Structure 1
Amino acid sequence: MSKKDIPMKEIPEILCDDNSGKRYTRGRFLGKGGFAKCFEITDHETKETLAGKIVPKALLVKPHQKEKMTQEISLHRSLNHDHVVGFHGFFEDKDFVYIVLELCKRRSLMELYKRRKALTEPETKYYMKQILLGVVYLHDKKIIHRDIKLGNLFLNNEMEVKIGDFGLATKVDFEGERKKTLCGTPNYIAPEVLGKKGHSFEVDTWSLGCVLYTLLVGKPPFETSTLKETYSRIKKNEYRIPHHVSPAAKTLIKRMLCNEPSSRPSAKEALESDFFNGYIPHKLPTTCLTMAPRFPEMQTQSQRKPLQDINGSDNTPAQMAGKKSEPNEICNNESPDFHMGELFEQLTKLIDSNPSHRNPVNMDEAEDPAANPVLWISKWVDYTDKYGLGYQLCDNSNGVLFNDSTRILLYANGEHIEYIDKDMSESYYTIRTYPDMLVKKVTLLKYFRNYMSEHLLKAGASMAPKEGDQLARLPFLRTWFRTRSAIVLHLSNGTLQINFFADHTKIILCPLMGAVTYIDDNRKFRTYRLSSLEKYGCCKELAHRLRYARTMLEKLKTSRASTARIKDQS
């Protein structure tokens, strides 16, 4: 009997730990993987929000499955480190095992990678340093993780990395012990595991090398279209490091991806490598989840290029106020059409499958909160008869797309301003210090901000300003238009948002995640992978809005107004 054929009990709304007397309310669905479903859970007593990993006992029938679960709990509960997902306890009832974990609200590095592909080197250093600190701790505790990959490296609200998922982890019982189990994830699996030669701590170093390469290059080092070819490349150590990767990073990658395990550096030695010299940001803003930050030290392919040399500037972010950046076509994650073609293909494939003609009993199966949008437009006001369109993003940052095709952005901290000229060049200022030519536009920006704050209802949660926000960069409103039934808004990171007037429903489409978020008339958010909707079907309401989105996208694609407002469509 397969997993899908096993009848599943309903997960209770209130989770009760009879041993400790603790009670938790089950909240928002977070996702699923393996045997488990994950939810936000709230402790009745402390009101703390945590993550509940819930495993049906009906799926733990074989001895090795129970043993694996026991081992995972046993290892994870023994750990306490800043860069390891916190373990808060476990309990069970007759139907389920409940594991209570630290909540990592910013998902994992996998979602970051899907939205951004290659990261900047300072960001990569920031993440890798934290991951390595966590791995040093695990290895000191004689634990090999054995499944280090982007999807198991989680991010909390402060953008700090936490190593999680100890389902494949094992403890070394004596010096020199070699483990024999074939386990891991194809793109990250070490050659000695594939060769069944016995393995130890060095497999984690190999996986870390794959993570480092993926973050800097934008794809895993050995990835191919087939498992057989990927494994062949791993065994032959066949990969290529692009020219743009710095010498120090190249050296570390080569050392970590050495075929001979004994020649790889330990996690501690990797931390001491030259790669970690130079600038490493102390904190990163949440906007990094969708847009490259603006470091004064750098000039990368994934960023609108500052005039400062990549390695030659010691300017602090504060010193950047008033500095100008050159126009750069790669400001939209290296997509010349702002991902419109990609999204059009995804929507066409889904619509051609007639998703609403199948009974969407499994729409819940298609739900994937990991693909939730990072930023979307929560408020807008149309004053184009005089000035332009003002809008607020869900993180409380504000922007205006003026009628003359210039743009101004006020960041969530209420302090930093970005001005984008008609030729797409950028200048950075503060709310108190800016040139005379911007006096009128800054005044209008403040007017729009105040009007939206006082008069308009917000369509989404706020994100409070945090340390590191001075490095933030925002997607800007690229173009928009109104029809009789909706307003269509297209952001520079590829996000297409459509707000329907009649019932106040909204859809937010992200081509990079291949996902749609549907905000219904009760303001409930649900995010679905388009490929999953193709497989499971969807309700008529959503199918209708997706067909409408494709029609609107066609208008955007054929319009020559690539950076401003498109005239009202019928």
Structure 2
Amino acid sequence: MEPAAFVCPQSLASLEPRAWVPGRDSDSRAGTREPERGRLGADSLLDPTRLIRDPQSGRTYHRGRLLGKGGFARCYEATDTSSGHTYAVKVIPQSRVAKPHQREKILQEIALHRSLHHRHIVRFSHHFEDEGNIYIFLEYCSRKSLAHIWKARHTLLEPEVRYYLRQVIAGLRYLHQRGVLHRDLKLGNFFITENMELKLGDFGLASRLEPQDRRKKTICGTPNYLAPEVLLRQGHGPESDVWSLGCVMYTLLCGNPPFETADLKETYRCIKQVQYKLPTYLSVSARHLLAAILRPMPQDRPSLEEILQHEFFTKGYTPAQLPPSSCTTVPDLTPPSPAQSLFTKVTKSLFGRKKNKSKTALQEQDNLSRLVSDLVLTSICPQSSFKEPRLAQEETDGAPSLAESAPEEGSPRSLAAMGSSCEGSEECLTAATVMESALCALRNCLAFMPPAKQNPAPLASSEHLLWVSKWVDYSNKYGFGYQLSSRRVAVLFNDGTHMALSSSRKTVHYNPTNTKHFSFPVEAVPQQLQGQLGVLRYFASYMDQNLMKGGDLPSMDEAEGPTALLLQWVKTDQALLLLLSDGTVQVNFYLDHIKLVLSGWEPLLITFVTRDRQARTYQAPHLQRLGCTPDLRLRLSYVLRLLRQRSGA
């Protein structure tokens, strides 16, 4: 059984494990759970003791079943009586935070959690308090936690462990980049959503990273997952979270924590002396990675990035999705066929190849530039696998088909289905980050959106929106050309390089990678780039003479607005997906020329360009609260599915 968290007396963290929703894990012993109840039955609504009312807004919530409890708080399912939205609400009695330092700890947890916005972090919704309690409303995770899966399964397959650990590392890397230490990583704090997505939660013990000489030396966390330096009171650092991650990996693969004994003192002795056994049935790569993580000296442990680059992840199969049945039974995880694996490897080598910085690689880059200069660069896309878009059948639910007849932006037509400016892991992660942000915001918007017959009032202006107003796909020879609303024209070439012409047409911007940038006056472009400049001018002329602007959104002056690169473009049977480096996600539907532009993120702005080219911009929180037309909702749902497919979520 997973041991409880050990904390100092001043900590407000839970003293026993619990799971199910964002909070801590609760044992399922008899007498610790309330009976199951209907969400909004008439009898329960008449019971005033089960209603929670926000004194400020007047909104009321029905308190449902008990989900977990700890030393200072209880966690319940809670449903908004007006909208039907379900939350996990953490209820903290005022009597438990009567002392100033106790209340300050709770307020610090709230402030920290509400500042976190990531796909693999439990979403903080809102909080309020009344005379009796403090209420913290969090994202509801319907499939409990990884602790529940572990208790049902005891051990997991290596592909499953990779699937979960990749998501844990993504959330943990986000925390560390923001200077936040979790300090209580364990199975019960990894929550699982309805679609089997992992969310890192419970920030009761989290703290800000301090310099080495000022790091907190309090022993806190869960005994079986504590790092040696924590037990020795040498302070917490990111390496302590990495150690706990190794203990989590060991527990999932082996069925029990690496240092678990019947006696707590003996467990602590084993941790300090790093005494544990690696079962022989583990794969060689799993054994090597665990041995690398569970090292006594913090500085000797690999970073999160190095862990992801270990052969356990790079050479082992990771499923894109786990079935819900895997929560209780061993799933059938058949890897893709050899042909599919070969196609994936070829695609990665073409669109995600990390370029060697050696002289040989630079010479190859020059050779590619010369090929483009001679206008003889052939397509690097698998032409034989692409079919011309065809009319799609109507969806089974009777919703309008999002189908393609021909792109609005005209010929030349592409034989390529995808292009990307990613050249290595760093750049690919940039595109992945854009998709993750859009996924998180769009998923939250749709999950809580009520039905409506009309859209809410749009924003008065969207003058700062940067979007792709024209595009032309000629990647069967050169690359993907596009014009931004700032009137900058650019080309993402087939070799991964990027060149743009400023709105004044006086400056050329050249990006050999997403992180390297050179600019030249038009008259001073180096000779080896003259060929690419010729292609860029060809695209600019073609779009200017043959293509109409895609909507009535205002143009912005390039000097006043942001600049952005096209990170990735993807063509489906029904639409074109564009990811820009400023976080913008744009989807153009072929059949009716409708466009969706997602931007902003705080809050998310959703711009809907209709068939008659009229643009309306809405704030996602407004749509989430008031709803939207079925057509707009259909489009947003399609974009969500498309992003999920591309990100493997």
Q: Give TM-score scaled by structure 2 length.
A: 0.44
Q: Give TM-score scaled by structure 1 length.
A: 0.50
